[in-house]
Copies of this chain bind each other. A is one copy, B any other.
């Protein structure tokens, strides 16, 4: 049986789905009608529930992708198609110490925190106080606050904190990633990984050149495209209109000497 504070995904379809931390009582307003929380608390994951209008919702266990896509957004966020490859091609595991800059809405922070649990730490840097406030709430809402240390700091000007070193992986989501490469090199363990996400080719080019100069090897750039395939009784085909670009993803490994 579900209980207060459980995190659920109320799912009607992809356009009507809600991530909820269950309160004690009250009502939940959907686009398809009202659901009583007292009724939800009689249910379990996998059950069905109806709004007062008779529209049906499934009570699903949210995946980490659901959780990250449902953060309150103050910025664009990284998509699962991109984040998945980022996690596998960097050094992240239970116990890892990783650095993220900038925090943005905290969507990637949540993914990173999820995979360094139970005893790893995400050091997350953000220059803007308002973004950081929102990100902290997003992380706390899904119960991952014990695995994140937030810093409000201008990394371009002030660098990373001295104590944040021997880092397994650095994740960069900044408009000018090249500005923090030297610092990323300083705090990373030898042979370990950096990843940077940018929408434009020019950003990738400049970051690439800077990485070569500062001392990184195996610098590789990828773009990940996701196509949804619609399987219907009327026929099977790819979706007709979709997201076609989010970002280029650049990976590199720290080398101890300049190339």
Assembled-state Cα–Cα distance A95/B256 (Å)? 35
What residues of chain B lie closer than 8 Å to A245, measured between beta carbons?
Answer: 227, 237-240
- Nearest Cβ on chain B to A90's Cβ, whole angstroms: 6
Partner among B118, B191, B222, B239 whose Cβ is within 8 Å of the Cβ of A46: B191
A165 to B253, CA, bound (A): 40
Q: Is the CB of B228 within 8 A of A225?
A: no
Q: Which of A34-42, A78-86, A125-133 participates in binding chain B?
A: A78-86
Bound-state CA distance A203–B202 (Å) is 13
Interface 9-residue window, one of A18-26, A57-65, A152-160: A57-65
Q: Within the assembled complex, what's the spacing in Å between the Cα atoms of A2 and B84?
A: 29
Q: A72 at the A/B interface (Cβ < 8 Å)?
A: no
A3 at the interface (CB under 8 A from B): no
Q: Is A81 in contact with B85, judged by CB distance below 8 angstroms?
A: yes
Point out the residues of chain B lying under 8 angstroms from A182, CB to CB.
none
Q: When chains A and B are docked, how far (Å) is the Cα of A48 from the Cα of B255?
A: 8
Complex contact B201–A237 (CB within 8 A): yes
Check A15 for interface membership: any CB of B closer than 8 A.
Answer: no
Q: Mark A111-150, 1 if CB is under 8 A from B, else 0.
A: 1001101100000000000000000000000000000000
Task: Identify which of A14, A63, A205 gathers the most chain B CB atoms within 10 Å of its CB.
Answer: A63
Is A174 close to B, CB under 8 A?
A: no
A 222-259 binary contact with B (CB < 8 Å = 1; else 0): 11111111110011111111111110100001111100
State the 6 A-B residue pairs at the shortest beta-carbon distance, nearest first: A84-B84, A46-B190, A200-B235, A45-B191, A238-B245, A46-B191
Residues of A within 8 A of B (CB): 8-9, 11, 14, 44-48, 58-61, 63-65, 68, 80-81, 83-91, 93-95, 111, 114-115, 117-118, 189-193, 199-205, 208, 217-231, 234-246, 248, 253-257
A-B contact pairs, 14 of them (CB 8 A): A8-B191, A11-B218, A11-B253, A60-B253, A63-B193, A68-B88, A81-B85, A84-B84, A84-B85, A204-B236, A219-B231, A227-B244, A241-B242, A241-B243
